Amino acid sequence: MDAPETNLRYAERTREPAEYFGVTLDETLKAGAQARDAVRELLLEPFIVQTRWASAAGRTKTPRYHAFVEVGGNNLAELLVARGLARAKGVTAGLPDGGKSKAFAEKLRALEAEARQKRLGVWATATEKKIEAATP
């Protein structure tokens, strides 16, 4: 999954999600702050992090790895996407529990479609044209 940025340090990583969601840069930054705050709140509870030492790729040369975070028995990526604070995106890696990454990606896309339909999170201010174009 991919949550919006909270600053313009990497302009492309802010512009591209703004276009995806059909919102302004300012709205994208606000959504990034909402996602950050949601993660901080969720991680006040005990959580589990499992990593996959496979490259998660990216535009910078900084290494990035897949991490799966579970909070209260729920996957953090699923929680954020379902709230409209992130989108289903990224290279898939095998899941720590042996589950299929393709099934997980499909679940994230379904959660995103539901958040978009309900206009949750960043989708609340998305243009109608973008909502219609993104609806399967």
List, for residues 12-66, the tens digit of each pLDDT value: 888 888 999 999 999 999 999 999 999 999 999 999 998 876 665 566 666 666 7
Q: Of 108, 136, 125, nearest to 17 (Cα)?
A: 125
What pairs with residue 65 in β-bridges? Answer: 55
Q: Of 53, 114, 60, 115, nearest to 83 (Cα)?
A: 115
For the chain, domain boundaries: 11-128
d(CA 67, CA 114): 24
Report CA Rg, the chain.
Answer: 15
Prediction pTM value: 0.84
The yes or no reply on domain 11-128 and CATH 2.40.50 is: yes
